[in-house]
């Protein structure tokens, strides 16, 4: 466990705490940005794979199609899913996952938080923060994250209290676009076999086969991975238990919410906004503002 067990005393002290914490921040401190080379490479790979699927689906399957209605409907569906997947990915990556302010374990801040002399609390020795309940330290983000589920290199960020909705939407839209892509690939294969590979593609038969096979492999891999991840995330949310808590088999020291309350804590009250990466949940409860980054 990444914490020490401390007690407040008049001898305890420390430096001051205030101002804006610029750690893991970019764009003039407006966005969260983890500077991890492995995560950045995974993010670029994710974008390139989405762009590859975009190229093959549009250039090889839909635009050359002689069936205008089929092509138009599937083009709208594919582009909508691709846009929402990309937006969800960006939102997950650039959103503060729920970082606890660094260095808030000073005597002054502890007293402001309402802790009494002799009262016990958890302190993270790595970022000198008082750890709220269910927070864990991430060695990549170098911060304690509230309700940390896991660190995902594909979004170059932790999945935590403040960005779990966007991560779930990312897995949902990638899974949806993968299934849709596999459907389009199957229809294209059938069309090419029917026409002996002569008029079904603007490219040569070997190039067409290679592109379709690679897209099939990508769709299967991404689809299986994201469907499993989506199911895991939804199960954890419904059980009011994070991935780390499940992995460590931690006993619930917190009052578990009902399944409805658990879902609402991540997505807000039910509306179409559940499916939008541009809206924030409306039901978040902040128990102590000192545990939230400025």
Per the annotation, the verdict on 152 as an active-site residue is yes
Distance CA 29, CA 177 (A): 33
Structure tokens given for 169: 């939407």
Distance CA 24, CA 36 (A): 10
- Catalogue the E-assigned strands of the chain: 4-7, 25-26, 31-32, 120-124, 129-130, 136-138, 143-145, 150-152, 157-159
List residues bridging with 29 in a β-sheet. none
Structure tokens given for 244: 């780390």
- Tokens 């050359």 correspond to what residue? 64
Distance CA 64, CA 240 (A): 48
Chain-centroid distance of CA 36 in Å reads 16
Q: How many CB atoms lie within 10 A of CB 80?
A: 13
Chain-centroid distance of CA 86 in Å reads 12
Pick the catalytic residue: 124, 138, 152, 158?
A: 152
Structure tokens given for 36: 């991890």
Q: Sort 251 into a burial class: Cβ within 10 Å, 0-12 / 13-18 / 19+.
A: exposed
Distance CA 108, CA 118 (A): 15
Catalytic positions, please? 152
């Amino acid at each position: 466990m990444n914490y020490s067990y401390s007690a407040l005393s008049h001898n305890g002290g420390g430096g001051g705490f205030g101002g804006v914490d610029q750690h893991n921040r970019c764009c003039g401190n407006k966005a969260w940005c983890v500077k991890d080379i492995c995560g950045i490479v995974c993010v670029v790979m994710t974008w390139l794979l989405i762009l590859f699927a975009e190229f093959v689906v549009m250039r090889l399957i839909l635009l050359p199609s002689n069936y205008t209605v089929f092509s138009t409907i599937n083009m709208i569906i594919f582009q909508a899913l691709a846009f929402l997947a990309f937006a969800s990915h960006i939102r997950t990556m650039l959103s503060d996952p729920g970082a606890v302010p660094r260095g808030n374990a000073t005597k002054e801040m502890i007293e402001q938080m309402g802790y009494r002399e002799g009262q016990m609390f958890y302190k993270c020795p790595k970022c000198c923060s008082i750890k709220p309940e269910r927070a864990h330290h991430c060695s990549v983000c170098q911060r304690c994250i509230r309700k940390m589920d896991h660190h995902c290199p594909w979004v170059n960020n932790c999945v935590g209290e403040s960005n779990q909705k966007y991560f779930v939407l990312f897995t949902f839209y990638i899974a949806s676009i993968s299934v849709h892509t596999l459907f389009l690939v199957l229809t294209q294969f059938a069309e090419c076999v029917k026409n002996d590979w002569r008029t079904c593609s603007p490219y040569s038969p070997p190039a067409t086969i290679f592109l379709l096979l690679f897209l099939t492999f990508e769709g299967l891999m991404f689809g299986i991975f994201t469907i499993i991840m989506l199911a895991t995330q939804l199960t954890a949310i419904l059980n009011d238990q994070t991935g780390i808590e499940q992995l460590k088999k931690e006993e619930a020291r917190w009052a578990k919410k009902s399944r409805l309350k658990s879902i609402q804590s991540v997505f807000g009250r039910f509306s179409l906004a559940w499916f939008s990466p541009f809206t924030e949940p409306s039901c978040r409860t902040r128990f102590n503002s000192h545990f939230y980054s400025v």
